[in-house]
């Protein structure tokens, strides 16, 4: 099965900073990659699908890129409401594996 | 408005069984794959099992294969997860999640609020 590895596992940044999270697949998955945000105590929320397509309602400071095995999630200007854990997920085929998550905090 | 409401969680002894349900509304249930995703306390998301819109295709994580069975009743707009031979490591919040297609290449656009399963003696 394809494994999904995120880095870093956690990060702390200041409001207004640019934040980048990386997700690597152990085999190529084309662009079948989604990103989810889970705020503390809340249900996961879809942010991005097809590696770079923003789900409706997601702020434009969030973006995704990549194809094949290497993907990134970028928040161009970190805001307090972005404090959350972010997960990538591959969906080219079952099993629809998640990365281990990246916890984002405000410095 | 899409709504997913899980039920059936609770405390069960190791080796015991439990059946989770997820009542869906607000979309044509039979047209979409559904999955169960779990989250152990303080841990990340783990996909557990998925089923196609018609119910003819299923898939399981290795960690639950042979112990869990996913099913659906499209006439009742309800998804199920039968969990047998439960272990302490199955303790988690279990979410049902709606896929965006009938099967295959399907990420999850809506999630339920989750139901907590605790396996302990």
- Residue range A74-84, pLDDT digits in tens: 999 999 999 99
The length of chain B is 121
pLDDT of B55 higher than 90: yes
Dig out the tokens for B93 from the structure: 């919040």
B chain contacts of residue A92, beta-carbon cutoff 8 Å: 105
Nearest to B45 among A44, A92, A94 (CB): A44
Nearest to A43 among B46, B104, B114 (CB): B114
Question: Do the Cβ atoms of A43 and B46 come within 8 Å?
Answer: no
| Contact (CB, 8 A) for A50 and A31 | yes
Q: How far apart are CA A68 and CA B65, in angstroms?
A: 28
DSSP A38-102: E-TTS--EEEEETTTEEPTT--TTEEEEEETTEEEEEESS--GGG-EEEEEEE-SSSS-PBP--E
Closest alpha carbon to A44 in B34, B91, B94, B101: B94
| Contact (CB, 8 A) for B115 and B23 | no
Is the CB of A43 inside 8 Å of chain B's CB atoms?
A: yes
- pLDDT, tens digit, 9 for 90 and up, residues B83-115: 999 999 999 999 999 999 999 899 999 999 999
pLDDT (0 to 100) of residue B34: 98
A chain contacts of residue B113, beta-carbon cutoff 8 Å: 43
Question: Do the Cβ atoms of B46 and A98 come within 8 Å?
Answer: yes
Question: Do the Cβ atoms of A87 and B45 come within 8 Å?
Answer: yes
pLDDT (0 to 100) of residue B16: 98
Q: Which residue of B has its CA nearest to A50?
A: B107
């Amino acid at each position: 099965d394809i494994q999904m590895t995120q880095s870093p596992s956690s990060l702390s940044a200041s409001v207004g900073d640019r934040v980048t999270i990386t997700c690597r697949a152990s085999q190529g998955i084309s662009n079948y990659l989604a990103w989810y945000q889970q705020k503390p105590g809340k249900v996961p929320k879809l942010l991005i699908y097809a590696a770079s397509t923003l789900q409706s309602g997601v702020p434009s400071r969030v973006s995704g890129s990549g194809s094949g095995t290497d993907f990134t999630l970028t928040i161009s200007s970190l805001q307090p409401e972005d404090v959350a854990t972010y997960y990538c997920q591959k969906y080219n085929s079952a099993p629809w594996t998640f990365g281990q998550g990246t916890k984002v905090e405000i410095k | 408005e899409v709504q997913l409401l899980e039920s059936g969680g609770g405390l069960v002894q190791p080796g015991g069984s439990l059946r989770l349900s997820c009542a869906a509304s607000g979309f044509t249930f039979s047209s979409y794959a559904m999955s169960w995703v779990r989250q152990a306390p303080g841990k990340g998301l783990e996909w557990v099992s998925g089923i196609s819109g018609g119910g003819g295709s299923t898939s399981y994580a290795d960690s639950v294969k042979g112990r869990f069975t996913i099913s659906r009743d499209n006439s009742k707009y309800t998804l199920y997860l039968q969990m047998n031979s439960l272990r302490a490591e199955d303790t988690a919040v279990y979410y049902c999640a709606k896929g965006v297609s009938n099967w295959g290449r399907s990420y999850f656009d809506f999630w339920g609020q989750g139901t907590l399963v605790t396996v302990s003696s």
